Homo-oligomer: A and B are copies of this chain.
Amino acid sequence: MGQERRAIITISRQFASGGRTIGKKLAERLGIPFYDRDLITLAAKKSGFAEEIIESADSKSTHSLLYSLSMGMYNNVGAFDGPNSLPLNDRIFLVQHNVIREIAQQGSCVIVGRCANYVLREDPDVINIFIHSDLDSRIRRAVDEYGTPQEKARGTILKNDKRRAAYFEYYTGARWGRMENYDLAIHSDRIGLDNAAALVESFAHMRADG
């Protein structure tokens, strides 16, 4: 990395394309922290401002609920079920949003998912990566690594991609997976996950020196 400049690397990815693994390998190579959904959620829970934000977000939740109902997105975007599902998710998104900004301010890091590329869109030190791969290899990865039953793998992958796209579009108003929104998009099958991590590392160095 350049002496002063941070490298905040966000990774968006198709389901089971190896994007999360690439992000982890990349963080190890660069010796910088790695954050995925679980770690961001944990950070949000720990953060002092979480409660405050959840309270201040309350005034917006009714609109969000109505909006999401009208858009038919009620079951698309979240880890929680029940009648209060989406407003709670909206509040969680806002907390995560702030946690991501806090994380980025602390210095170089790799962040996988959570619309981080959108949250940090004004930050000049952000590098946005997209990882995609062939459906067949994603099916293999889902079966071998996530234990998805073979006969369900295809459906699970397509459903998860749709969920990611819906999540991103709901919270950002932008389209997920459009090339223009990323600095580098890699077909992970072509070179493998280790090489993909090395390639992003090269890109980050080029960017820092540029």
A interface residue numbers (CB < 8 A to B): 127, 130, 132, 177-180, 182-187, 190-192, 195, 198-199, 202-203, 206-207, 210
Nearest to A177 among chain B residues (CB) is B179
A187's contact among B183, B190, B192, by CB below 8 Å, is which? B183
| A185, B181: Cα distance in complex, Å | 11
13 further A-B contacts with Cβ under 8 Å, apart from A191-B203, A198-B202, are A177-B179, A179-B185, A182-B187, A183-B190, A184-B184, A184-B185, A184-B186, A190-B210, A192-B210, A195-B206, A198-B206, A199-B199, A202-B202
* A164 nearest CB across to chain B (Å): 14
A192: B residues at CB distance < 8 A? 206, 210
CA of A178 to CA of B130, assembled, Å: 13
In the bound complex, residues from chain B placing their C-beta under 8 Å from that of A191 are 203, 206-207, 210
Chain B residue numbers with a CB within 8 Å of A203 are 190-191, 199
Choose from B183, B185, B207, B210 the contact partner of A182 (Cβ within 8 Å): B185
Number of copies of this chain that the complex holds: 2
Tell me the complex Cα distance, A198–B127, Å.
Answer: 18
**Which residue from B127, B132, B190, B195 sits with its C-beta under 8 Å from A179?**
B132
Residues from chain B with a CB closer than 8 A to the CB of A198 are 202, 206
Q: Which of B185, B199, B202, B210 contacts A185 (CB 8 A)?
A: B185
Q: Which of A127, A183, A198 has the most CB of B within 10 A?
A: A183
Q: How far is the CA of A154 from the CA of B71 in the complex (A)?
A: 35
A161: shortest Cβ distance to chain B, in Å? 11
CA distance A203 to B191 in the complex (A): 7
How far, in whole Å, are A186 and B182 apart by their CA atoms in the complex? 8
B210 and A179 contact, CB distance less than 8 A? no
A192 smallest CB distance to B (angstroms): 6
In the bound assembly, the distance between CA atoms of A195 and B195 in angstroms comes to 17
A97 to chain B minimum Cβ distance, whole angstroms, is: 24
Q: Which residues of B contact A130 (CB under 8 A)?
A: 179, 185
**B190, A127: Cβ atoms closer than 8 Å:** yes
